Structure 1
Amino acid sequence: MTKEEKSKLPYGDLAIIALKSCAEIAKPIDEKLSNTRDESSHLISVEEVRFSNGEGKVVINESIRGKDVYILCDVGNYGCTYKMFGFENHYSPDDHLQDIKRALSAIAGKARRITLIMPLLYASRQHRRKGRESLDCALALQEFERLGVKDIITFDAHDPTIQNAIPLISFENLHPTYKIIKALVTEENLLDIKPENMVVISPDTGAMDRALYYSSNLGVDTGLFYKRRDHSKVVDGKNPIVQHDYLGRDVEGCNVLIVDDMIASGQSVFDICNELKARGAKKIFVAVTFALFTSGPDKFEEYYKKGLLDRVYATNLSYVPDHIKEAEWFRTVDMAGFTANVIDTLNHDESISPLLDSTGLIRRLLNKNRSES
């Protein structure tokens, strides 16, 4: 057997445990893998059982001995429900975390390797200590390591330095930038992406690196909104925003792309849209990895109808209700193919480094788009 033939051998038989929070995206991921490899389904039959008092267990109905196991879980999927004492309860991130641990416990050391794919990193906004407070994300990562996880895959982590909590296992922080830009260029075919006609906006200082990456690949300028907060008050666990101060070039007559890792309630987006429109911005687009809509979609609908917001682009890596997906102002960025490619590459024990840098792909996409327009 040649060295090239050996490199094409999988690390182990591929097995995907898709917890019900990821059932929707798991199907196209499995289909793409099966078509690429000319194999049958890799999904393992799993039951997530809830007892009437709220306790639960995970049952794996197939042998996974010696297999290369990939666990998929969306800790942000509040669409999953269970009955407890007769009440309908929606899953919280803590409920999903427990099911991940139950799945790892059910594997019981039989797998050859375990990779946890958690697109929305659990407790990613509780990643560092500023006082007498918990370190939820770090503790969860360390517990995964103790339970046998060898690789953790996440997307657009709020602060990727959290991987320092688990220095002895692999932690990969992936980005959907290429897929988002491709969706934007495809959907908005009349969008004029030129330095004089478009600006990328960072909603705060923490998202500036992301905005710079987008702007450098699109070949346009970057602007920043600085959040001035009232540090004498705490509302819903954080200091309320007093004002957004803008730093950057004039946006009058320009299309604007606001980029961030997630939308929670969307209040920052609404404030920035108001500020941009007051400065004469033309069209306003928002691109995020995770759209949580913690306060519902009504205000987004209102801003769209008023012409203050043109479109929101978000991936399908985390749960979005169907009625939002069907809204005219919302577009889904499909990440199933990319995730399948990551799984296939890792299963063959090859480096995913080529998948981490999408600069070349983005530039080829934009050059093609400009030549056709």
Structure 2
Amino acid sequence: MANSSNDSSSFTRTDLLVLKNYDDKILKPIGPIAIISDQLDSVLSDSINFHLRNRRSITINEHPEQKSIPGYYRTDYRIPVSLERFHSGEGKSIISESVRGHDLFIITDVLNYGHRYERFEQDVSVSPDEHFEDLCRIISAVHGVAKRINVIMPYLYEGRVSRRISRGSLDCSVMLKRLFDLGIDNFLTFDAHDERMANAVPTKNFESTKTSLQLIEALLNEYDDLKIDPDHFMVASADETSIKRCIYYASLMKVPLGLFYRRYDPRLIDKGQYTEQSIKQHAEKKFLGDNIAGKDILIIDDMIDTGKTILECAHQLKRQKARRVFAAVSFAQFSKGINSFDSAYKDGTLTKIFATNLAYRPPELLEREWFCDVNLAKYIALLIDGYNHDAPLSSLINPSKRIHELLNNYKGVSNV
């Protein structure tokens, strides 16, 4: 069975969230917390509630006066919601309990194809578009009642459509504007494909937080024989679009950076099929970087969709005599199945894939030896607690210092 990264590490410490500003008095919460997480995998939903409850217990031990605040500590912060569908596929949302006066957090996984329903006598999964519409229904049902509405969308819906290409649509910008027009107050996502999407709502609170700390920590916990230095380790960008993210990893780990890029040759394409997609399909993937023979390589990308890109990179790296090839992504979709990854693991092409539990993962994936499930439930619980107290979040959202400490501890170097 695949290993799952333990999220109780000292590097996701509760003391990183400081619920104070200019004096020793704890910041007052905005209101009692209410969480709507019906669009999440139930295991992740349970885990977030568990860690939030534990976090509140710690706060009450240090500040007993907080216990007297109505609704501050509860065994379950979740509000049940009915997301029913007619057989035609039309949906509706019914909030089962009152959220009046609450600081509401709606957590949605638009990639959760594990949710299914019957449409015209066919069993179908709920699509990302349908999940988004359900989110809008929930917001419309609570608007004007909840004290504040916060949306946590780990995978940024339509985040790959972040800029206009030719006559294409601007789906992500439209999505963000629609949510804020519906009346939400804060929007939080993880590892946005392009963080410049914040420009679509420049006067609103859009946050994109990194998963790099938890992914690096999972790698180090899994393998105690890694040598994180320029002679034995390298970070590789899966394509040109991931280069900024990879520079961040390579700089903190103080190792070389390699880049995969596509060499385009328009002569290979029929003139009638001359589109950006056809150019990419006919492009030759090339690696740019130092000699990798004998090195461990960490491929970084924001997501695995079909998996074709990661597998292409891994095959090239092994042909160039890489010792082991790892991959770390925030979201693992495997939209064309996992058989090709089974083969890559069996023949030694790919050693391990690290991905967060922020998006739905099917049971068969979690059983694979080559897959490591990185748990971010505790991190989400800390962020919710911080938002509720309107506390400074920079120590949580920017993990650079903690990654530096983590790597030094792994190498046995003092952090002084």
Q: What TM-score, normalized by structure 1, do the two folds share?
A: 0.95
Residue deviations 1:2-33 (CA, integer Å, cap 9, x gap): 97476431011111011233433121111111
Say whether residues 1:249 and 2:290 are aligned partners.
Answer: yes
Partners of 1:22 and 1:73 within 8 A in 2: no
Pick from 72, 75, 86 the counterpart of residue 107 of structure 2.
Answer: 72
For CA contacts below 8 A with separation 6 or more, give which structure has more relative contact order. 2
Task: Pick from 260, 270, 280 the counterpart of residue 239 of structure 1.
Answer: 280
| Distance in structure 2 (CA, Å) of the matches to 1:175 and 1:122 | 17
Residue deviations 1:128-148 (CA, integer Å, cap 9, x gap): 111212111111111101111
1:216 aligns with 2:216: no
Q: Which runs of 5+ in 2 are unaligned?
A: 1-20, 58-72
Deviates more, 1:225-234 or 1:281-290: 225-234
> Aligned partners of 2:345 and 2:293: how far apart in 1?
19
What SS does structure 2 have at the residue aligned with 1:265?
Answer: coil
Q: Specify the code of the residue in structure 1 equivalent to 2:55.
A: T
Preserved CA contact (<8 Å) 2:39 2:131: no
2:321 corresponds to 1:280 = yes
Alpha-carbon contact 1:256-1:284 (below 8 Å) kept = yes
Aligned residue type for 2:79: I
Tell me what 2:350 maps to.
309
Aligned equivalent of 2:379: 338
Instruction: Check conservation: 2:328, 2:355, Cα contact below 8 A.
Output: yes
Looking at structure 1, the residues matched to 205 and 42 of structure 2 have their Cα atoms a distance apart, in angstroms, of 25
> Using a 3 Å threshold, how does the CA distance of structure 1 residues 155 and 135 change in structure 2: closer, same or farther?
same
Aligned to 1:370: 411
Check the 8 A contact 1:227/1:241 in 2, yes or no: no
- Is the CA contact 1:230–1:240 (under 8 Å) kept in the aligned structure 2? no
Structure 2 CA distance for aligned equivalents of residues 219 and 278 of structure 1:
25
- The aligned amino acid for 1:63 is S
How many angstroms does 1:93 deviate by?
0.7
Mapped to 2, the partners of 1:175 and 1:223 lie a distance apart of 21
**Aligned pair partner of 2:51 in 32, 49, 59:** 32
Select which of 70, 75, 85 maps to 2:120: 85
Q: Residues 56-71 of structure 1: matches in 2 within 5 Å?
A: 56-71=91-106
Matched residue, 1:206:
241
Map of 2:30 onto structure 1 = 11
**TM-score relative to the length of structure 2:** 0.86
> Is 1:323 aligned with 2:364?
yes
CA shift in 2, pair 1:67/1:275, >3 Å: same
Give 1:346's aligned amino acid.
Y
Q: Is the 8 A contact 1:22 1:72 kept in 2?
A: no
1:351 to 373, 392, 411: 392
The answer (yes or no) to whether the contact 1:228–1:241 under 8 Å persists in 2 is no
Return the alpha-carbon distance in structure 1 between the equivalents of residues 354 and 258 of structure 2: 19
Structure 1 residue aligned with 2:148: 113
Partner SS state of residue 224, structure 1: strand
Per-residue Cα deviation, 1:221-275 (whole angstroms, up to 9, x for no partner): 1110112246644597873152112111100010000001001111111111111
Question: What is the aligned-residue identity percentage?
Answer: 38
- The SS at the match of 2:40 is helix
One-letter code of the match for 1:335?
A: L
Task: Say what the alpha-carbon RMSD is for the aligned residues.
Answer: 1.8
Count of residues paired in the alignment: 371
For 1:367, give the aligned amino acid: N
- Residue pair 2:39, 2:112 contacting (<8 A) in 1 also: no
Shift in alpha-carbon separation, 1:92–1:237, aligned structure 2, 3 A: farther
Report the AA paired with residue 259 of structure 1. Answer: I
SS at match of 2:124: strand
Question: CA distance change for structure 1 residues 75 and 237 in 2, over 3 Å: closer, same or farther?
Answer: farther
- In 2, Cα distance between equivalents of 1:230 and 1:12: 59
Q: Contact (CA 8 Å) 2:79, 2:97: kept in 1 or not?
A: yes
**Secondary structure, counterpart of 1:256 in structure 2:** strand
- Residue 251 of structure 2 aligns to a residue in which SS? helix
Kept in 1, the 8 Å contact 2:38–2:80? The answer is: no
Letter in structure 2 aligned against 1:200: V
2: CA distance, partners of 1:229 / 1:250: 24
- Residue range with higher mean Cα deviation, 232-241 or 147-156: 232-241
Secondary structure (helix, strand or coil) at the match of 2:372 reads strand
Matched letter for residue 36 of structure 1: R
Partners of 1:117 and 1:203 lie apart in 2 by 27
Please name the residue that 2:305 is paired with.
264
Residues 89-115 of structure 1 show CA distances to partners (whole Å, capped at 9, x for unaligned) of 111110100100010011031111111
Partner of residue 147, structure 1:
182
